[in-house]
Amino acid sequence: MVRHILLSDGIFLNLLVSQVLYPGAYAQSSQTIALQHSTLLNTLPLASNSQSKVTASLKVGIVFHQKESGFAVRVDNLYSYVDVNRRVCVRLAALLSHLTLCSRFPQSITHFLPTLKTVPL
Amino acid sequence: MASCVGTCTLLRHFAHRIQEDFVLLSCDFISPPSLPLSILLNRFRADSGSHGSIATTCWYHTTKLDKAASSEEWGPAAPSTSIVWDDASGTLLHIDTTNDLDRNSDELELGMSMLSKYTRVRLSSNYQDSHVYVCRHSILDALLEKKHLDSFREEFVPWLCKVQYQEVKRAKYGHGTPYSSQRWYFP
């Protein structure tokens, strides 16, 4: 809308300058030129309010997480719940077996280890 | 509210309390340290600035179930979801929902308007929806208009994917975004 006003002012200014510089040549055709400009403006997209805006693409972006980048899961059913449980047990068993190798670790903790190893997976 | 109320209904109920863009996520998604939320937020910021993105979602690669871990008493495992996306622009184009499967379980139905706009797309059933969405605030306007939709993942997002390449719907819902209101067309 702003550009429409600026464009109209520009044409108006142009007509004034032309009349001042070339009064003889412009006298007969000023109305015709003005009419041409006005019809030209009607063909510009800015003349229509419905076309003045660009519609957004409404894109739905997507980010992929690959298996190699780390384990990700949504725990929303029994299968995924068991899968997560199994992975936690395996990690815990590995961690505890590593700790038992350390002499400073109290031996009383290791009684959990057989239990974890016999968890049905 | 009843326990079977879907995410769309909840969002419509609390729409007046959401003033800006928002993140929608479930409490049952376990992600590794290599997948922080900032990855999605950065993608959303980049896309919303340059392409007028309305939402960004995350899909993760599924792992095959161990046969020993499955039990027949639990019934069949959830079917995999087929999705279609444009790799070049990172745009999700189609989600084959359970309703689509019920309608036609033998074939994957894709709209011609999508294929004419995105000529090279990728199809896979190896990914699952993490139900983590970064959403533009204007998504609530569409939700308020589509009152019959209840599930965000099963109904609303698949519908939203189709809006991108359907001119009439895009014109209807695209003007409400800040992206469109700040730009003017100059020939």
Q: For residue range A82-104, what is the model confidence (pLDDT) as tens digits?
A: 888 888 888 888 888 877 766 55
B98/B94 Cα distance (integer angstroms): 13
Contact criterion met (CB < 8 Å) for A58 and B52: yes
The span from the first CA to the last CA of chain A, in angstroms, equals 69
Q: Grade residue B55 by pLDDT with cuts at 50, 70 and 90.
A: very high
ipTM reported for the complex surpasses 0.90: no
The two three-digit tokens of residue A45, written as one number: 């997209």
B36 vs A13, residue with greater confidence: B36
Tell me the domain boundaries of chain A: 2-51, 72-117
pLDDT more than 70, % of chain B? 83
User: Are B144 and B156 within 8 A, CB to CB?
Assistant: no
Q: Grade residue A22 by pLDDT with cuts at 50, 70 and 90.
A: very low
Contact criterion met (CB < 8 Å) for B52 and A61: no
pLDDT on residue B106: 86
Instruction: Assess whether pLDDT exceeds 90 at residue B16.
Output: yes
User: Are A58 and B163 within 8 A, CB to CB?
Assistant: yes
pLDDT on residue A104: 58
Length of chain B: 187
pLDDT on residue B184: 27
Instruction: Read off the pLDDT of each residue in A52-64 and give the average, rounded to a whole number.
Output: 75
Cα distances (Å, whole numbers) of residue A108 to A52, A99, A100, A116, A117:
77, 12, 10, 15, 17
Minimal Cβ distance to B54: which of A59, A64, A79 = A59
Instruction: Assess whether pLDDT exceeds 80 at residue B34.
Output: yes
Of the listed ranges A13-27, B76-90, B104-118, the least confidently predicted one is: A13-27
**What average pLDDT is seen over chain B?**
83
Interface test with B, best of A63, A71, A73 (most B CBs within 10 A): A63
Instruction: Assess whether pLDDT exceeds 70 at residue B13.
Output: yes
Instruction: Assess whether pLDDT exceeds 50 at residue B99.
Output: yes
With contacts defined as CB-CB under 8 Å, which chain A residues touch B43?
61, 63
Of the listed ranges A78-82, A87-91, B48-52, B173-177, the least confidently predicted one is: B173-177
